[in-house]
Amino acid sequence: MGPATPHTLSPEAAMLTWNLDPTKILMRHEFAAVLADLNSRAARSGQSRLNRAILRLACCCGLRVSEIGGLRLADVCLAGPRPHLRIRACNAKGGRSRRVPLWWDAGTLADLVAWRAERVAQGGGRDADPFICSVQAHRRGQPLQRHALRRRFLTACKALGRDRLRLLTIHHGRHTFISHALASGRTLAEVRDAAGHSSVLVTSAYLHVNWRGGSVRRIAKSSPCRTLFETFFAESAERAPPGAH
């Protein structure tokens, strides 16, 4: 695939770009720094493993906070060549159920598989048990409320520093997923379906992020085992600015 060229947005899509500035997207070096920090703590901290799972669901799967909170163990479908998350209509915006591919990124799949195994080991082996839940001894297995998920997302991103955290919310993880998925070569239709957008018009509003500036750049579409964030962030981990880790 040749170099990316600017896309011409329709007037309707252009109206949506006002809130898609780069401060509302985690760039490659930022995600690399956050993930490295969480990985360094994960072996000894259940809280860090939980925060890493929340980060993956927001930034690498594009889930809204209500969808993260409503995810059940049965919704994490790992069998077959196309593992995915099943988003139920009762938790999705507009009541639109969908499937979110996990096979787009090997790192995301590995972390969510590990978290699911930990949930089962904690005694959460029933299909209806929450996928994301408290790990505190007196509340273990209980679902997390939206405010707790928002707080944990910011805790997960604390490696970015206070000034950056002031500009972030958990919904910016969704912007991150959509922008980087498009930049990695996924089609508008693929990303629309994964994000649960009502039309490609909404998805196309994110295209401007892919060619303005150099932090989110378009790359050729990769094989399923090395796409999206593994491609972006494994590469950037070696090139992160000094102090990013």
**What tens digit of pLDDT does each residue of 79-105 get?**
888 999 999 999 999 899 999 999 999
Strand order in the sheet with 76-77: 76-77, 84-87, 98-101
Q: Given a cut of 90, is residue 158 above it in pLDDT?
A: yes
With respect to residue 225, please indicate whether it lies within any of the assigned structural domains: yes
Residue type, 56: R
- Placement of tokens 């649960």 in the chain: 196
With respect to residue 67, please indicate whether it lies within any of the assigned structural domains: yes
Task: Name the nearest CA neighbour of 143 among 196, 210, 66.
Answer: 66
Task: Name the nearest CA neighbour of 156 among 236, 245, 50.
Answer: 50
Helix, strand, coil percentages (3-state) for the chain, rounded to 5, are 55, 5, 40
pTM, two decimals, is 0.81
With respect to residue 245, please indicate whether it lies within any of the assigned structural domains: no
In percent, the amount of the chain with pLDDT more than 90 equals 58
With respect to residue 121, please indicate whether it lies within any of the assigned structural domains: yes
Segment 139-157, tens digit of pLDDT: 888 899 999 999 999 999 9
- Going by DSSP bridges, is the β-strand pair 84-87/76-77 parallel, antiparallel, or unpaired? antiparallel
Domain count for the chain: 1
Q: Given a cut of 60, is residue 50 above it in pLDDT?
A: yes
Task: Name the nearest CA neighbour of 161 among 20, 16, 37.
Answer: 37
Task: Name the nearest CA neighbour of 195 among 55, 93, 73.
Answer: 93
With respect to residue 219, please indicate whether it lies within any of the assigned structural domains: yes
Q: Show Cβ contacts of residue 190 under 8 Å, excluding neighbours closer than 6 positions.
A: 181
> Which range of residues forms the domain containing residue 208?
11-237
CATH number of residue 52's parent domain = 1.10.443.10
Using CA atoms, how far apart are residues 230 and 59, in angstroms rounded to an integer? 12
With respect to residue 87, please indicate whether it lies within any of the assigned structural domains: yes
Ranges 43-52, 132-141, 144-153, 205-214: which has the least confidence: 205-214
User: What does the block give as tokens for 182?
Assistant: 């498009």
With respect to residue 222, please indicate whether it lies within any of the assigned structural domains: yes
With respect to residue 86, please indicate whether it lies within any of the assigned structural domains: yes
Indicate if the alpha-carbon torsion angle 35, 41, 42, 47 is positive or negative: negative
Q: Which of the two residues, 224 and 125, has the higher pLDDT score?
A: 125
